[in-house]
Amino acid sequence: MFEPTIEIISHTPDIEKLCTTAVKHTYRKGKPSELMRGVSDKEKENLLGNIMRAGHLSVIEHGYFTIFFNDVSVFFEQFLIEHRLASYTVKSRRYVDYSESGFVVPNYLEDKPILRKRYADTVKKLFGIYRFLVDKGVPVEDARFVLPYCFKTSIICTMNSRELRHFLERCLANEYAEIRKVGKVLLPKVKRIAPEIYGDLELKNPEMEEKIVSFDMEGRKPRKKVELLYYTEKPDEKIVLANLVKNTGMDTESLREKVEEFKEKVMDSVLKSRRPRELEQANFTFRINNLSLSILTHITRHRIHSLIVPDFTLSGKSSNYVVPESVRMTGILEKKYREAFEISNDLQNFLLKKKVPKEDLVYNYLSGNIIDIITTMNARELYHFIRLRTCERAQWEVREIANQMLKLVMSAATLTFRRAGPSCFLFGRCPEGKLTCGKFEEVVSRYRDLHEKSEGHLGRFL
């Protein structure tokens, strides 16, 4: 039977006393330290309980929990990191060998020995292929594409009390048995620490969303890896205008007349700023196609963007997958790699015929299977994303995506993205220390050439 190991590593001391103090601070005189000394159990029950029942949950954001999730599947990890108001540290699958990580058995198969054996035998073969590839020198970051979504991982997560409450509510009414089990195991642990904050939560019947459309993963036409679907109209002008409003206070019509005259000087100032909030005024929406499930986590981890991922049970398991260069055209390596996806597809077809619920079939998806997503980022977050993900040390698939995004936004907002690129290009130095790629001059020259093709006068801004 699946049993996740969940440990509360640390939490805010006297968490409910602190949150009750926040309530008292809103309407009583006195310093918080004085108010906190006077908090009684009755006040925690009445003040904190009443204000939460009224829906004013901001007061519980002052308390934090740091939680260790162990023996959970990478599928659960994807669910967890979609909660953006939290901090995560995940055991790396680019550098850590996961040969002995173990795997989760879906709830439906627990009491069905024949189905369970077929499932377990297939997963063990997939781990065997993973070990074979790693032993033959395939980088771990490429070999991981053959790992199924049931393999176990571990995560350290820090959430404030409000986000943790939201997370638990989603767990306790979730259609996926593993996620419900995590909620069931974690709930009594947090209730003991903060009964007023979490005392009303309980396990509920799964909330099944209505599926109103069909989904055809196989009838797809060839498409570009990255598409810029839409973006803020005239983004350069809007960013410049925002800066002029902030710094001059002149009326809008007068400033509109000055945008063209001052745009290069103003944009240069914005891009050199330590706090370029003006960049947040322009949004860009991308569709990223044929993205591997493994790299989906790289993108999900970026907190400040709006991400739309298809429902796994609705989209189903794609028969298409990523083939890395490290195994392509290498005889036995490519054969073994493709064998992993063949035996996974065979298991999928077998389980489908046995009427296994779709929510349990997701554990058979391989990390190299593909999916399409949509994300919206503002220009400031795009600078951050591009800086990290175009670096030579970034994983090759996400680096390819970031470079295509850069080229698209350079065409849409040439002035705004005139300095965008990896850290070495943006800052003139490599921040990676001993882990540097060793190609500083080559990389900087490549991005300088890219920008100069977009606009011939970039040089004076570097």
Of the listed 162, 165, 387, 389, which one is catalytic? 389
Give the Cβ contact number of residue 202 at 10 Å: 12
CA dist., res. 417 & res. 236, Å (int): 9
What was the pLDDT predicted at 460? 39
Predicted local distance difference test score (pLDDT) of residue 459: 41
Q: Is 220 helix (H, G, I), strand (E, B) or coil?
A: coil
Structural domains in the chain, CATH included, are 5-106+149-198 (3.30.1360.170)
Q: Is 251 helix (H, G, I), strand (E, B) or coil?
A: coil
Q: Which of 329, 405, 323, 336 is nearest to 369 (CA)?
A: 323
The pair of three-digit structure tokens given for residue 265, joined into one six-digit string: 């000087």
3 state DSSP class of 394? coil
pLDDT tens, position by position, 79-132? 999 898 899 998 887 788 888 888 999 988 988 999 999 999 999 999 999 999
Q: Percent helix, strand and coil across the chain, each rounded to 5?
A: 55, 15, 35
Q: Give the residues of the chain that fall short of pLDDT 50.
A: 457-462
Identify the residue whose tokens are 């009684």: 40
Annotation says 380 is catalytic = no
CA 223 to chain centre: 23
pLDDT for position 221: 66
The 10s digit of each residue's pLDDT in 343-354 is: 999 999 999 999
- pLDDT at 1 (0 to 100): 55
Nearest in space to 139 (alpha carbons), one of 299, 301, 325:
325
CA distances from residue 401 to 79, 100, 134, 352, 406 in whole angstroms, order as listed:
22, 31, 25, 33, 9
Look up residue 44 and give its DSSP letter. Answer: I
Q: What is the CA radius of gyration of the chain?
A: 25
Report phi then psi at 457, rounded to 5.
Answer: -110, 30
Q: How far apart are CA 87 and CA 353, in angstroms?
A: 41
Sheet holding 370-378, edge to edge: 226-231, 283-292, 370-378, 306-308
